[in-house]
Amino acid sequence: MARESVAEAIGKAADAAAPATPRLPTDRWRATEVAFWLVVVVAFFVFPQHRVLASQILITALFALSLDLILGYAGIVSLGHAAFFGMGAYTAGLLAVHGWGEPITGLFVAAIAGAITGFATSFLVVRGSDLARLMVTLGIGLMLFEAANQLPSITGGADGLSGVSMWKVLGVFSFDLTGTTAYVYSAVVLFLLFVVARRVVASPFGLSLRGVRENVKRMPAIGAPVTKRLIAVYTLSAAMAGVAGGLLAQTTQFVGLDVFGFPRSADLMIMLVLGGAGRLYGGVLGAAVFMVAHHFLSGLNPIYWQFWLGLLLVVVVLFARGGILGALEVLRERRRGAKP
């Protein structure tokens, strides 16, 4: 993805989120960011009846965040990110089925499963053009889906993996039907990993990823090992996706085949583009908007939902590049320009 237009370069330079001379290594938390996380806390108290849906949103947000690392920052277009989500989900689920229901260690193991899968497949993904990457990620995702489908003795096949019984979180909070524990648990995990991701993208490592995205040919010339960087971020992203999958398995106490499904990867990409890729908050915001809209609109009629979703995508690509956050930034720039 070579984005080299002058207008964009100027836009980037003016962009407060990506200053021309980035402050390293400590980026301060801005007021809008603090407000954003306060919303997550407030939502817990304001919508007690929607905590199950809200915890799913938080999990999907974490998943979107993991995709943003490779897509928004490193510029790897992936249509098979569900592969790592699914690995994490089945790992966490199988652990609990076979007698180890401790959630937090379960998440660590899910992260390792995602990371191993990511590292193993990263060699196939980092080389090649966008089209080749698209096909390879798609193929790996579909292969894992078929594998899970064809091994019902391990995964439960099309019926899904049931009998996932979780122990209490920290030995105190048990998962309940109202989703209270699930919400807090997911929110804490999301926040912790968000801090990690935020730190990573602000580091020299993160900057070199952006360099790869902007111009993959010039990066080796300034001494950046492109392949190594891409493998590292791909593995990190896969580990985070694995955690998201593990969270879903633990909070819903069920793993279905759809964790590996192509729709999950495609929807994820849509959320990220909708919210605005390469901004960290874009994926989180996109996941929230997408899932809330899906929850209320697809109840009316699933076919209409798909049509409007398609229209929205076309409109976003044609008129609102950068998604919701991108549009907000443009508005802010205009207001700033109007009163010099």
Partner 1 sequence: MLRNLIGVLFDGVAYGSLLFVISIGLSVTMGLMNFVNLAHGAFAMLGGYACVVLMTHAGVPFLATLPVAFVVAAVAGIVLERTLYQRLYKASHLDQVMFSIGLVFMAVAALTYFFGPSQQPVRMPDFLRGQVQVLGIGLGAYRLFLIAVVAVIMVVLHLLLVRTRFGAQVRASVDNAVASAGLGINVNRVFGVTFALGSGLAGLGGGLGIDVLGLDPTFPLKYMVYFLLVVAIGGAGTIKGGLVAAMILGIADVAGKYYVPEIGSFIIYFLMVVLMIAFPAGLYGRKA
Site of interaction with partner 1 (CB under 8 A): 1, 3, 71, 77, 79, 124, 127-132, 134-136, 138-140, 142-143, 146-147, 149-150, 262, 266, 269-270, 273, 277, 303-304, 306-307, 309-314, 316-318, 321
Q: How far is the CB of 136 from partner 1 (least distance, A)?
A: 5
| Among 112, 113, 93, residue whose Cα is nearest residue 155 | 93
Number of H helices, E strands in the chain: 14, 0
- Tally of CA atoms within 13 A in the half-sphere of 285 that contains its CB: 18
Q: Where are the alpha helices (DSSP H) in 47-166?
A: 51-68, 82-97, 103-126, 130-150, 152-155
Type of residue found at 97: V
Question: What is d(CA 325, CA 264) in angstroms, rounded to the nearest whole number?
Answer: 22
Residue number, 141 or 246, with CB nearest to partner 1: 141
Give the sign of the dihedral formed by CA 141, CA 144, CA 150, CA 154: negative
Residue number, 42 or 315, with CB nearest to partner 1: 315
Residue number, 116 or 312, with CB nearest to partner 1: 312
Q: How far is the CB of 142 from partner 1 (least distance, A)?
A: 5
Residue number, 175 or 260, with CB nearest to partner 1: 260
Residue number, 173 or 305, with CB nearest to partner 1: 305
Q: How far is the CB of 7 from partner 1 (least distance, A)?
A: 12
The β-bridge partners of 299 are: none
The answer to whether 37 and 194 have CB atoms below 8 angstroms apart is no
Type of residue found at 185: Y
The answer to whether 211 and 224 have CB atoms below 8 angstroms apart is yes
Q: How far is the CB of 3 from partner 1 (least distance, A)?
A: 6
Residue number, 9 or 314, with CB nearest to partner 1: 314
Question: What is d(CA 205, CA 199) in angstroms, rounded to the nearest whole number?
Answer: 10
Residues recorded for the chain: 340
Residue number, 221 or 303, with CB nearest to partner 1: 303
| Residue 117 neighbours by CB under 8 Å, 6+ apart | 83, 84, 87, 238, 242
Q: How far is the CB of 150 from partner 1 (least distance, A)?
A: 6
Q: How far is the CB of 171 from partner 1 (least distance, A)?
A: 42
Q: How far is the CB of 177 from partner 1 (least distance, A)?
A: 33
Residue that the structure tokens 């890729």 belong to: 277
